[in-house]
Amino acid sequence: MEEFLYAVFNSALTLIAVMNPFGNVPLFMGLTEEFSEGTREKIYNTIVAAGFGIVLGFGLIGHVFMEYFFKVGMEEVRIAGGMILIVVAFNNLLFSKKRSRAEIETTTEEDAMKMGVTPLAFPMLVGPGTMATAMILKQQDGLVVTVLGTIITFAIIKVLLMSGKYLEKILGKLVLYLLSRIMQIFIMAVGVRLLVTGISEVVKRVI
């Protein structure tokens, strides 16, 4: 039981590190501040629902597409996912730029809901690295652990989104920015682990 709970906790922690909600919450708040509270809540619900569906979908059947349609194994997915996470974290640490509001034009509530799906849910919250991570977690920890870890992750993200304005007041923008930078280090560490594991598995298979 203890090992099971640890696996669920580790699964949720890994997904949280990869998706970096601490960095995305202030960004989402800035991109939706022109909307009413009701519309913002709908956008946040859309982000959570779409992101949850993408992560769970790739965790459950992503390997089918990878193995049967693209003819690659989990070893290659680990290597690719690790490289993606390393590059993303490196880019966010050193070269990240704040998105301009002019990049996302919204005029109606329907457009706002679409914005909740893309680009906010995908690829800003759930990117290629998260998809690869979901597939890897399902393969190494099993279906139940991955589903529970995903539920916990998005429950936390929902709370963060709904309490974003309070967090910003309590912690301040500087602390949230610092948390987002620290998360990038963990993302890079997860990427290195995936890369090393994938390479070692390929070497074993070849030898």
Residue 32: predicted pLDDT: 74
**Average pLDDT of the residues in 98-107:** 48
The larger pLDDT score, comparing residue 97 to residue 135, is at 135
Q: Which of 5-14, 24-33, 58-67, 73-82 has the highest mean pLDDT?
A: 5-14
**Residues 93, 23 contacting (CB under 8 angstroms):** no
Residue 47: predicted pLDDT: 94
**Average pLDDT of the residues in 89-93:** 79
Query: Which residues 6+ apart lie within 8 Å of 91 measured at CB?
Result: none
Start-to-end Cα distance in the chain? 36
Residue 115: predicted pLDDT: 80
Q: Which of 3-17, 34-48, 91-105 has the highest mean pLDDT?
A: 3-17
pTM value is: 0.70
Closest alpha carbon to 51 in 116, 101, 132, 96: 116
Closest alpha carbon to 77 in 119, 120, 19, 138: 138
HSE-CB of 78 using CA atoms within 13 angstroms: 20
Residue 97 banded pLDDT, cuts 50, 70, 90: low
Residue 137: predicted pLDDT: 92
Sign of the torsion angle spanned by Cα atoms 82, 87, 88, 94 = positive
**Average pLDDT of the residues in 8-30:** 85
Amino acid sitting at position 64 = V
Query: Which residues 6+ apart lie within 8 Å of 65 measured at CB?
Result: none
The larger pLDDT score, comparing residue 157 to residue 102, is at 157
Joined tokens for residue 89: 């974290």
What's the chain's average pLDDT? Answer: 82
Residue 86 predicted with pLDDT over 80 = yes
Residue 104: predicted pLDDT: 41
Residue 73: predicted pLDDT: 76
The larger pLDDT score, comparing residue 159 to residue 171, is at 159
Joined tokens for residue 138: 């399902």
Residue 106 predicted with pLDDT over 50 = no
